[in-house]
Structure 1
Amino acid sequence: MTSLTRTLALVTALLLPVAAAHATVRTETGRTESKVGASETYRLGVPTEKDVSTTGVRLVVPAGVAITRFQVMPGFVRTVKTNADGLVTEVTWRGRIAPQEYARFFFQARNPEQAGTLSWKVYQTYADGSVVAWDDTDPEKTPASKTTVK
């Protein structure tokens, strides 16, 4: 390995956590893929990236995903919106995630019966009233988290 290759590898390793520091949905084991029709435990990871606390997190549930239950998150109040069929379409957690802290919100869900990509849209509200939309509005700066269902 050349000196340049080692330097590039080191820089990439150091920058990766910064580039990945946003609201993400992963399986409980940290994967970005799951199986068609499977029951899965997902975790929504939300870091506070400003000098003020995060006070709210809203998750828009992708079509075809059926949330079945939530893990209790002490210090947070959870509300859900459902559609006419009773399926959860949005989840909002209100509480406090201080600067330099993060929270993980766990929930169980059944995946869609068809393969595809789930796009998890997350809206992070800060104590100053600002909202960061992790929804692909600007895929380079505020990407939506994705799960591949195979």
Structure 2
Amino acid sequence: MTNHKPLIRLGLASLVVMIVALVGCSSTEVEPTPYDREIFTPVAGPPPFPIIFEGTFTVDGEPGPADSTIYAEFIHGGSPISTTFEGEYVQVILGPVSTEDIEHGIISFYLGTRDGDHVKANETWEWDTVGKPTNQVLDLTFDRLPES
């Protein structure tokens, strides 16, 4: 019986690299995102590779509920929203968009939505440039659920 997991991971990593390369080579102007708080210096050249976060999450000491949303933010850039499983989150994908993100990039994680109530995780992650898309396990703890 053949184990296809290495081939699947290689294929997914190749797909992420191609998408990052296409986005980085794009010549269209992009409107600032809602979480851009000020004018910033964009990253020169191709964008840095992202880190793909996953792990467990707890709320007030209990496994977090399924169908919650988690996202991450730098100083200027943010990840797409990721929907959780019970007690687990996956594919919170984030890479820097500004030189400030790279130089002083502390990544914060949030449970909830950007536009509504959100709760900051007790944990953060300090950005370190990676040479390829990188999976990182980081367990998150939240003091409460966001209000609906």
What TM-score does the superposition give when structure 1 sets the normalisation length? Answer: 0.29
Judging by fraction of residues, say which structure has more helix. Answer: 2
Structure with the larger RCO, 1 or 2 (CA within 8 Å, 6+ apart): 1
Judging by fraction of residues, say which structure has more strand. Answer: 1
What TM-score does the superposition give when structure 2 sets the normalisation length? Answer: 0.29
